[in-house]
């Protein structure tokens, strides 16, 4: 099938960052400039104290819409909002992005090349290879409800039931997004990908791993800042609790994931505070 950027709608979730320093935004513009059509893009700003100025980008082939979220609702609300806009515009595909994913210039080129090969228009899910510190973090080998890093992967059709896939970089058909029920907004950040793809896997077994490599750097806090790490762990814990309430989720596996995180942080900071934080959570 011959498709262009006109068929796509993208969303970038922003938190305390400006566009000039956002690797995802700048690499997206660069990848889009080599393509035909106009890409619809939602910038979902979860930090209204940082104002987003899009005036200098009005002449690009990316049509930008900004949503300011005063509540910092998280990525799940952002992705669901993007789906609504994409559906209203009658787009076919939704590209999910966070602010820390560096896209290669051939990102769309490879996607459209794969679309041309789908002569029966059956493929509804595409995702790239995601690297962090030279390690493949997505797709990873899936174990409930986390992933084990793979040493290598081969582009092409994948059995997604065996994979842990992160949100950012995923291109999903709107019909599949809708069939999966969208994102659970109670699982605002951590576990949002596990939650969403768990439901996608109930609908279909396969997805296409693109032959493109994206570089990912997790935003967040300094490695040795105890107060910020503890705050971040509390958010992780809250999202884990929300995820554990979904129908069919095995709470024991969720607890194990949180417990392992708490153990690692406790060893790093030589304190039991992280373990105490999860004591009455499940």
Integer CA distances (angstroms), 87 to 5, 14, 94, 114, 177, in order: 15, 22, 9, 23, 11
pLDDT at position 260: 95
Structure tokens given for 253: 């596996």
Delimit the domains of the chain by residue range. 5-216, 226-277
Strands in 98-170 per DSSP E: 101-102, 125-132, 135-143, 146-150, 156-159, 163-164
pLDDT at position 237: 95
Whether 167 and 191 have beta carbons less than 8 Å apart is answered as no
pLDDT at position 58: 83
Instruction: Measure the CA–CA gap between 163 and 123, rounded to whole angstroms.
Output: 17
* Domain 5-216, classified CATH 3.40.50.1010, yes or no: no
Whether 66 and 106 have beta carbons less than 8 Å apart is answered as no
Burial class of residue 279, CB neighbours in 10 A (0-12, 13-18, 19+)? exposed
Structure tokens given for 100: 């820390």
pLDDT at position 59: 79
- DSSP assignment, residue 58? T
Instruction: Measure the CA–CA gap between 99 and 229, rounded to whole angstroms.
Output: 20
CA 76 to chain centre: 9
Whether 75 and 188 have beta carbons less than 8 Å apart is answered as yes
Instruction: Kindly give the confidence (pLDDT) of every residue in the chain, 282 residues in length, as a single tens digit, with 9 standing for 90 and above.
Output: 689 999 999 999 999 999 999 999 999 999 999 899 999 999 999 997 888 999 999 878 999 999 999 999 999 999 999 999 999 999 999 999 999 999 999 999 999 999 999 999 999 999 999 999 999 999 999 999 999 999 999 999 999 999 999 999 999 999 999 999 999 999 999 999 999 999 999 999 999 999 999 999 865 556 789 999 999 999 999 999 999 999 999 999 999 999 999 999 999 999 999 999 886 555
- Of 32, 44, 45, 42, whose CA–CA distance to 6 is shortest? 32
Instruction: Measure the CA–CA gap between 155 and 127, rounded to whole angstroms.
Output: 10
């Amino acid at each position: 099938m011959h498709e262009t950027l006109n068929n796509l709608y993208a969303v970038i979730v922003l938190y305390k960052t400006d566009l000039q320093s956002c690797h995802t935004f700048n690499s997206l513009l660069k990848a889009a400039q080599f393509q035909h059509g106009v890409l619809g893009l939602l910038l979902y700003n979860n930090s209204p104290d940082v104002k987003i100025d899009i005036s200098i980008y009005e002449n690009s082939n990316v049509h930008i819409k900004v949503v300011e979220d005063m509540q910092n609702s998280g990525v799940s609300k952002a992705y669901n909002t993007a789906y609504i806009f994409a559906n209203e515009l009658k787009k076919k595909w939704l590209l999910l992005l966070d602010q820390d994913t560096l896209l290669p210039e051939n990102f769309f080129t490879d996607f459209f090349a794969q679309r041309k090969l789908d002569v029966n228009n059956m493929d509804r899910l595409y995702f790239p290879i995601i690297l962090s510190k030279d390690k493949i973090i997505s797709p990873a080998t899936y174990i409930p409800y986390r992933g084990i890093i793979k040493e290598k992967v081969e582009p092409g059709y994948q059995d997604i039931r065996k994979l842990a896939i992160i949100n950012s970089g995923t291109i999903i058909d709107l019909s599949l997004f809708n069939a999966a029920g969208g994102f659970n907004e109670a699982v605002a950040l951590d576990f949002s990908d596990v939650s969403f793809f768990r439901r996608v896997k109930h609908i279909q077994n396969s997805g296409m791993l693109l032959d493109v490599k994206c570089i990912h750097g997790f935003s967040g806090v300094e490695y040795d800042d105890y107060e910020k790490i503890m705050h971040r762990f509390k958010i992780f814990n809250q999202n884990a609790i929300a995820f554990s309430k979904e129908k069919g989720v095995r709470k024991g596996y969720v607890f194990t994931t949180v417990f392992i995180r708490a153990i690692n942080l406790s060893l790093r900071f030589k304190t039991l505070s992280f373990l105490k934080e999860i004591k009455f959570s499940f």
